[in-house]
């Protein structure tokens, strides 16, 4: 049931105003025209002027001051620990939704997964348009990871990542990635794509096993350093604005 509700929030919920009111208030579509003419319908605080106005998932609609819809968009950052599944439901392990305290957790879905043994910044939302935009190739949104490997790093890693590494299974070369060596076994990797186990496979090109992956940023949005593993908070409107992706946040306070 939880998974079903989460999937439903991802669908594009857009419909014409006359159909929306007819379904919500059991009035004929012809009667809706009269309601609009009488100024009895407000859409996002303004008098509705056309039955063709589009009502989206987060459009506020009132009829005679009776609220027909007032959904709020939620955008959450979670500090995912290792050993937690990036899923809405799992019969064997804790999921990221199990870590969320807010009452609307069941309405959220994951915007960009992390592997079971990876940690760091995970984003959740009930805004399907926003989550889809995050993953679209055209967005070119970078993701930054701290990585620890088994064997010592070398400058040739930096060159290979920047040039792109060939994956024979898909017959493709990865987009250029930035690798900064931090210590003998630690580095920072910044990608603009997210192929299956991409970081592990890129280091696999050198037969170097990845021991730890921690995502510290998605675009300009960095994991809150004060957020403990398993902790979460709402993402501020200013942080969402900096990402440059359309959102419906109304400056919710942190929690």
CATH of the domain at 165: 3.30.2350.10
pLDDT attached to residue 65: 86
Q: 155 and 64 share a domain?
A: no
Q: Domain of 45?
A: 2-69
Active site residue 115: yes
Confirm whether 249 is domain-assigned: no
pLDDT attached to residue 120: 98
Q: 118 and 147 share a domain?
A: yes
* pLDDT (tens digit per residue) in 84-93: 999 888 888 9
pLDDT attached to residue 7: 38
- Of 25, 115, 186, 224, the catalytic one is 115
Last residue of some domain: 44, 69, 94? Answer: 69
Q: 117 and 228 share a domain?
A: yes
CA dihedral of residues 10, 113, 108, 96 (deg, nearest 10): 160
Q: Work out the angle at residue 220's Cα, subtended by the Cα atoms of residues 217 and 222, and round it to the nearest 5 degrees.
A: 35
**pTM of this structure:** 0.83
DSSP helix/strand/coil, 81: coil
The span from the CA of 136 to the CA of 215, in Å, is 19
pLDDT attached to residue 138: 81
Q: 63 and 157 share a domain?
A: no
Q: 104 and 196 share a domain?
A: yes
DSSP 143-159: EEEEEEESS---HHHHH
DSSP helix/strand/coil, 242: helix
Q: CA end-to-end span of the chain, whole Å?
A: 27
pLDDT attached to residue 153: 98
Q: 189 and 210 share a domain?
A: yes
* CATH code assigned at 13: 3.10.290.10
Last residue of some domain: 69, 93, 117? Answer: 69
Query: What residue ranges of the chain have pLDDT lower than 50?
Result: 1-12, 251-255
Last residue of some domain: 23, 49, 69? Answer: 69
């Amino acid at each position: 049931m939880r998974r079903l509700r989460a999937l439903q929030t991802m669908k594009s919920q857009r419909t014409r105003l006359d159909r929306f009111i007819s379904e919500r208030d059991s009035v004929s579509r012809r009667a809706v025209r009269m309601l609009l003419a009488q100024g009895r319908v407000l859409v996002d605080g303004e008098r509705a002027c056309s039955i063709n106005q589009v009502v989206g998932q987060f459009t506020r609609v009132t009829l005679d001051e009776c609220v027909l819809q007032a959904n709020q968009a939620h955008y959450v950052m979670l500090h995912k620990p290792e050993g937690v599944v990036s899923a809405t439901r799992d019969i064997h392990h804790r999921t990221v939704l199990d870590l969320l305290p807010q009452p609307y957790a069941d309405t959220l879905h994951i915007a960009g997964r992390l592997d079971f043994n990876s940690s760091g910044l995970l984003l959740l939302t009930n805004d399907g348009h926003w989550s889809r935009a995050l993953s679209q190739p055209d967005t070119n949104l970078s993701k930054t990871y701290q990585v620890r490997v088994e064997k010592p790093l070398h400058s040739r890693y930096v060159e290979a990542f920047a040039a792109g590494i060939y994956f024979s299974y898909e017959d493709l070369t990865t987009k250029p990635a930035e690798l900064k060596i931090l210590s003998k076994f630690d580095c920072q990797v910044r990608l603009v794509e997210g192929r299956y186990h991409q970081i592990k496979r890129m280091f696999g090109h050198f037969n170097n096993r990845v021991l730890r992956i921690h995502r510290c940023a998605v675009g300009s949005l960095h994991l809150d350093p004060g957020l403990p593993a398993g902790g979460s908070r709402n993402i501020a409107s200013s942080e969402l604005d900096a990402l440059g992706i359309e959102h419906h946040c109304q400056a919710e306070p942190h929690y």
